[in-house]
Structure 1
């Protein structure tokens, strides 16, 4: 206490008020620094109790964290749910009676959203090119974009020579072959929770391997395929299933969207034959790690993962050509829902017109209190910068950190 009293006495001996303020700021610099470091670390790595609170809240509401794809309507009535879907762990339950589209885990609005993303009419930010690689039997291109609220989103185009859309569709749907062939070496375990043999809709549980410094991740995924001619729209997304208990390890991923458009394209041989197959993939997820770290991991590991897909597909083609029986997952891929693209487009345009007017009425200005965390961070960093020396490099570093961590929707 005596040391602190002596320091304060020295501060108040300054002849001017500005001098007193400057000395007080210098004295408080370590406290500002400790507060900022603690805030940033806490922001990046939530403690377990905070994650548990979020998990309990999500379970209580019976809703997933919002995703870019449109969600199914609210919970159906108990009688309807019992007639449509029964959850059993770990064995699957086949739906014996036809289910209404709205009651399924993946339904028509999900198809409409995927079509808008494929046609780049979803209203999202522009895509930024990331990668372009070409090998003798396939070509790969990738793009990314960062919405204001949500994790980074990725789009890729992979064109396989001498591949049919039917086989490529089955290949990506076949969880058994993913593990057997190890082309997807992150998948540790899978099980079917629900299935509808009429529409091909499934709910599956995945456990995926993560690096040693992260716990493995658990996914509860709804998926379904629509067909328009030889073009397939394959939707997979996270779905809420409170009946599947949460565990601390593996950690549940509530925000997951990974969907494909698989279609025939002209071969690059130049003969005009439609013997190649393009896979347009749209993917984003919140893995529970800072998005900046996740982006770095994707950029570093993307090409290594992509190179494993093509040998896996060729092995799958060989097995099918040899007459090996297909798995139940590939059989479910055959139970896709047929639709006419022109009719869906007309319905989609009507829905967009209605939703535009509704959104215009629903939009309200955000209250300034919603930005309190950003105000606190930026103000704290400004104070910290002012207590340091007057060098431009130091202040540029501090203010750059403030912009990085206070930017909307980025970690």
Structure 2
């Protein structure tokens, strides 16, 4: 044993061995630093259900690493409650957003009457807030037609993004960066074996869209205005686990010109939803 220790000490005293140890250390530190950064980022972007899974695993393993007794059980329950508090608010807030539309349908007649007195009631009992029935106007249609004319006239500001073709469908997308304002996107889809009425109903039906759009978690028609055919719709879109769901409230209106339909949607404010 003594001879082995002397040989090990002599090996470490050699300059080559010391240089090799320094090289290994310099190579290992960046690798472990990258591993630690990856663990921190991965833990911060973990799915919400992993917290509940961790609680279940701790429940099964607590008999092994936690001694029995009244004090130990109290400590375990306290740790479990603290861990659940970090997960429960996220799940409850997501469920609340999905059920908020259903809760509005159960509002009492007294609340509905009070809102009608404050905002101005319609003859059919609906609340008509000023400007909401004019969410999508003729000016929006003129803007859409102007954008289409600029696109068809060969405006060089539009950059080609994507082009896909199948046996019965053609899709093409463009983007544009104006000097002022956000980036603009434009897409064109041509169906070879579909009528204009079928395409209009397919994209305009929110209930049916829930069945084929995997990103749409909730859709409800909030209000309709027969005088001009406009509607106000509430959507909740799902995003990857590291992003929260997003809500959209927009007004929609359709103009018909022969066999051509112009379907215009526009983000709007709806006062009843935020009472």
Partner of 1:104: 134
Distance 1:170 1:228 in 2: 16
Distance 1:118 1:196 in 2: 27
CA drift at 1:83 = 4.0
Deviations 1:186-212 (CA, angstroms, capped at 9, x unpaired)? 110011211023432100110000111
Does 2:217 align with 1:220? no
Change (3 A) 1:102 1:218: closer
Gaps of 5+ in 1: 1-77, 89-94, 247-411
Does 2:144 align with 1:114? yes
Distance 2:259 2:121 in 1: 34
Partner of 2:4: none
Change (3 A) 1:132 1:238: same
Q: Is the 8 A contact 1:125 1:146 kept in 2?
A: no
Gaps of 5+ in 2: 1-116
Q: Which structure's CA Rg is the greater one?
A: 2
Deviations 1:321-377 (CA, angstroms, capped at 9, x unpaired)? xxxxxxxxxxxxxxxxxxxxxxxxxxxxxxxxxxxxxxxxxxxxxxxxxxxxxxxxx
Change (3 A) 1:81 1:158: farther
Distance 2:240 2:145 in 1: 34
Distance 1:208 1:102 in 2: 23
Does 2:163 align with 1:129? no
The secondary structure found in structure 2 opposite 1:178 is helix
Partner of 2:229: 200
TM-score of the superposition, structure 1-length normalised?
A: 0.34
Change (3 A) 1:158 1:86: farther
Distance 1:202 1:103 in 2: 8
The secondary structure found in structure 2 opposite 1:120 is helix
1:185 alignment partner, one of 205, 210, 214: 214
1:258-273 to 2 correspondences below 5 Å: none
CA drift at 1:130 = 1.1
Which one has a larger percent helix, Structure 1 or Structure 2?
Answer: 2
Does 2:171 align with 1:140? yes
Partner of 1:170: 201
1:86-101 to 2 correspondences below 5 Å: none
Alignment RMSD, CA only? 3.5
Distance 2:183 2:174 in 1: 11
Distance 1:112 1:125 in 2: 21
Deviations 1:229-263 (CA, angstroms, capped at 9, x unpaired)? 111110111002233229xxxxxxxxxxxxxxxxx
Does 2:262 align with 1:233? yes
Deviations 1:18-58 (CA, angstroms, capped at 9, x unpaired)? xxxxxxxxxxxxxxxxxxxxxxxxxxxxxxxxxxxxxxxxx
Does 2:197 align with 1:157? no
Of structures 1 and 2, the one scoring higher in RCO (CA 8 A, sep 6+) is 1
TM-score of the superposition, structure 2-length normalised?
A: 0.50
